[in-house]
Chain A
Amino acid sequence: GQNIDQPTEMTATEGAIVQINCTYQTSGFNGLFWYQQHAGEAPTFLSYNVLDGLEEKGRFSSFLSRSKGYSYLLLKELQMKDSASYLCAVILRGAGSYQLTFGKGTKLSVIP
Chain B
Amino acid sequence: DVKVTQSSRYLVKRTGEKVFLECVQDMDHENMFWYRQDPGLGLRLIYFSYDVKMKEKGDIPEGYSVSREKKERFSLILESASTNQTSMYLCASGLRGGQPQHFGDGTRLSIL
Taking Cβ atoms with an 8 Å cutoff, the residues of A that contact B are 30-31, 33, 41-45, 48, 50, 87, 89, 91, 93-105
Contacts and interface: CB of A to CB of B under 8 A. Distances in A.
Contacts of B105: 41-42
Given A45-B102, A105-B43, 5 more contacts: A30-B98, A97-B48, A98-B94, A100-B45, A100-B101
A91 B56 CA distance: 15
B11 to A, nearest CB: 16
Interface of B: 30-31, 33, 35, 40-45, 48, 50-51, 54, 56, 58-59, 90, 94, 96-98, 100-106
Nearest to B30: A97
| 8 pairs of A and B residues whose beta carbons are closest in the complex | A97-B50, A104-B42, A42-B103, A45-B100, A102-B43, A91-B98, A98-B98, A96-B50
Given A30-B98, A97-B48, A44 B103 contact: yes
**Which residue among B43, B45, B96, B102 has the maximum number of chain A CB atoms within 10 Å of its CB?**
B43
Given A42-B103, A43-B103, A45-B102, A98 B31 contact: yes
25 contacts: A30-B98, A33-B101, A41-B106, A42-B90, A44-B103, A45-B100, A45-B101, A50-B98, A89-B43, A91-B98, A95-B56, A96-B50, A97-B30, A97-B31, A97-B56, A98-B31, A98-B96, A99-B33, A99-B45, A100-B101, A101-B45, A102-B44, A103-B42, A104-B40, A105-B43
Nearest to A41: B105
A105 B98 CA distance: 20
Contacts of B48: 97, 99
A104 B90 contact: no
Nearest to B104: A42
Nearest to A2: B59
A104 B39 CA distance: 9
Contact of B106 (A42, A101, A103): A42
Given A42-B106, A43-B103, A45-B100, A96 B54 contact: yes
